[in-house]
Amino acid sequence: MDALQAEKAVTSFLENAISGNTEVSQEIVDQVGKDVATAFVKQFSSGARDDFRLRMSNLGKPKCQLWYEKNQPEDKSPLPPQFLMNMILGDIVEAVFKGVLRASGVSFEDNDTVTLDLGDGREPIKGEFDMILNGRVDDVKSASPWSYQNKFIDLKTLSESDTFGYISQLVGYATAANKEVGGWWVINKGNGSFKYVDANSVDTEEQLNKIKDVVDYIEEDKEFERCFAPVEETYYRKPSGNRKLGVTCGFCSFKHKCWPTLQTLPSKVSTAKVKPMVDYVLVAE
């Protein structure tokens, strides 16, 4: 069964479930419970986070962010308390969705740990993929309503703003598992909508070269270099004269270290009653 057939099977199962015409085996129920319990222990009872290392889940991050994580971790902004809640909610969504796949009659290989050998003396990179369906490695992602509607449209759209490196991550998993690249099962955290975003057309060689470039930059302890510049703020498509951080930099936990003049302020151009917060930077001419 391919992804399109699996998507139809899940939709049919959910429609029947609404009508009360489905049954789920105890084996599937137990597996969902086991997966949630494992995730709960991982997030809340596994001790301090490990020291920095390159792994499949961070290979797609900007090199400048990884440089800080390795060399100046003490300058990382503290994560908010809700961070772990968000992480465990994502784990629960994945566990439940896999349970729904099984209950829908979709057969797949479950998550497994793999190692990516990049050659030329590079340190092997380890990671754990989510699933293999029809010989292709897939990831399960819980997404905000905005990301679901505007980011996870197709491979091209995601590649234009792949802030968290999902494409490199998926290619790394598939290459390490010696399987084809699949795609992402994306679940909208706001309303439960789901869809499959195919990544089979990705340029695997290009992504692997990007991964090698990141690994070489970090392993060789090269000098720090910013990957991004501030962007011009606009108002009704006209420049406001202010500079702000781009989306990728805005998510970085080292943005205050990287940009000492950074000030997070209410929008200087918005006329809304509750103004959105914007990361403004003062750039020397």
Looking at residue 235, its pLDDT comes to 87
- Report the SS3 class of residue 44: helix
Looking at residue 38, its pLDDT comes to 95
- Report the SS3 class of residue 195: strand
What is the spatial distance between Cα 25 and Cα 30, in angstroms, rounded to a whole number? 9
pLDDT at 132 over 70: yes
Of 207, 196, 65, 223, give the one whose Cα is nearest residue 139: 196
pLDDT at 285 over 60: no
Q: Yes or no: say if 124 and 28 are a contact pair by the CB < 8 Å rule.
A: no
Of 79, 107, 97, give the one whose Cα is nearest residue 141: 97
Of 173, 185, 189, 191, give the one whose Cα is nearest residue 90: 189
CA angle 55, 258, 151 (to 5 degrees): 55
Pairing of strands 136-143, 180-188: parallel
- Amino acid 29 reads V
What does the pLDDT look like over 19-62, one tens digit per residue? 999 999 999 999 999 999 999 999 998 777 667 899 998 988 99
Place 79 in a pLDDT band, splitting at 50, 70 and 90.
Answer: confident
> For the chain, how long is the longest CA-to-CA vector?
67
pLDDT at 98 over 60: yes
What is the spatial distance between Cα 130 and Cα 228, in angstroms, rounded to a whole number? 31
Looking at residue 81, its pLDDT comes to 87
What does the pLDDT look like over 178-231, one tens digit per residue? 999 999 999 999 999 999 999 999 999 999 999 999 999 999 999 999 999 999
What is the spatial distance between Cα 230 and Cα 110, in angstroms, rounded to a whole number? 42
pLDDT at 283 over 90: no
Of 113, 91, 109, give the one whose Cα is nearest residue 101: 109
What does the pLDDT look like over 235-281, one tens digit per residue? 888 899 999 999 899 989 999 999 999 999 999 998 899 999 999 99
CA gyration radius for the chain? 21
Q: What is the pTM of this model?
A: 0.88
DSSP 8-state symbol, 52: P
Cross-strand bridge partners of residue 183? 198
Q: What CA dihedral angle connects 270, 274, 276 and 280, to 10 degrees?
A: 70
Share above pLDDT 70 across residues of the chain, in percent, rounded to a whole number: 98
- Report the SS3 class of residue 278: strand
Please provide the DSSP assignment of 102-145 as one string.
HHTT---EEEEEEEE---TTPPPEEEEEEEEETTEEEEEEEE-H
Looking at residue 284, its pLDDT comes to 58
- Report the SS3 class of residue 30: helix
In degrees and rounded to multiples of 5, residue 37 shows phi and psi of -60, -40
Looking at residue 282, its pLDDT comes to 83
